[in-house]
Structure 1
Amino acid sequence: MRTDGKAFRSGLGRETARQSTDLPGEVVKLTAKPEIGWCFLDWSGAFTGNTNPACVTMNNDKMVSANFAINQYVVVISRNPQNGGVVPGGGKLLSR
């Protein structure tokens, strides 16, 4: 994010369209939108925290990163009836 209005992005998320110039002192709203299978963690760089959306005051050029993580799920397996067989395995299921 720069005061000349040029924004850079990376990672598995999206930025929303904004006006072409951010004036000094202007408050800019940042929204992190993770892709399917990912979740927003936090912001790093010139702005930190996990508030989403976030508001940043433009008093100079800023580099802000939205950090994402892949969704993880815990799978619990049980037998029914209890003496009805064997259920091997374990671990985490990752969304892809």
Structure 2
Amino acid sequence: MRRTATVTAAAVVLLSAPAAANADPGRPVVLAANDLFTVISNLQTWLMGILASVATLFLILAGVYWATAGGDPAQVERAKGALRNALVGYGLAVLAPILLQVVQSIVGG
């Protein structure tokens, strides 16, 4: 009984004291840490990485399709389609900085 009372009292003391995370910083809290240029730059980096990754995946698929075609014309056409998709993906990854600069100029950055 005494042990339970001690643990309960300790819990009440710890929970009743204000935590440092809830303390008032004394200054306004800024929600946006980055300016527009930084956000667009980060978006450009992520977009180029994602597009290049997907294009690489399609390039690998095209190679697998072509290697396993065994002379089947339908499978070769499927490989050519995957290769075209990979090239389009790489093209978009290269054009991503230009497209994001257009968006930045429209938004006013």
TM-score (norm 2): 0.21
* Larger relative helix fraction: 2
* Larger relative strand fraction: 1
TM-score (norm 1): 0.23
Q: In terms of Rg, which structure is larger?
A: 2
